[in-house]
Amino acid sequence: MNAIEFLKEEHANANEKFQEIEHAGPENRGDLWKELKPELKVHEHIEDEFLYGPLSKDPKAKGTPVGDFQAHQDQDVAELDKAIAKLEAIEPSKPEWLTQLKAIHTSLAGHIKVEETEILPGIAKIWDAPKLEQAGAAMAEEKKRKLQSVHR
């Protein structure tokens, strides 16, 4: 699977998991969040490692929204980390926890919309199909490796 398809699938899966948490009972939210949080961290890592980091250094991407997206990504991740810290300071059974989770979901949905409508289409113009396939395979392998180490 190429990197763009891989990320779109990841985004859809994360959205489904957020919705599952939002509709879960207060007694189950925390456990569902503990399953999703490492996946979000791994997603961020593989985007930086195999996509946005390399693209920020690619001469073909220089001066384009794709080449400059790493800074936007870093800012969004910093804000997400703060929101997650705020979430984790609240008891999952409290209504405020759910409100904070929904705020995180909304923020990520906005990030994903920009990524999928403005950035990912541009990547296909910079990297050819073999490069996209190579990046996608590396992302999938790294995700599998990282999540195995988390769940040990």
pLDDT in tens, the chain (152 residues): 999 999 999 999 999 999 999 999 999 999 999 999 999 999 999 999 999 999 999 999 999 999 999 888 999 999 999 999 999 999 999 999 999 999 999 999 999 999 999 999 999 999 999 999 999 999 999 999 999 887 66
- Residue 62 three-state SS: coil
What digits encode the pLDDT tens for the residues 39-61? 999 999 999 999 999 999 999 99
Torsion angles phi and psi, residue 67, rounded to 5: -65, -30
Burial classification of residue 90, based on how many CB atoms lie within 10 Å of its CB (0-12 exposed, 13-18 middle, 19 or more buried)? middle
Judge contact between 101 and 151, C-beta under 8 A. no
Domain boundaries, the chain: 3-150
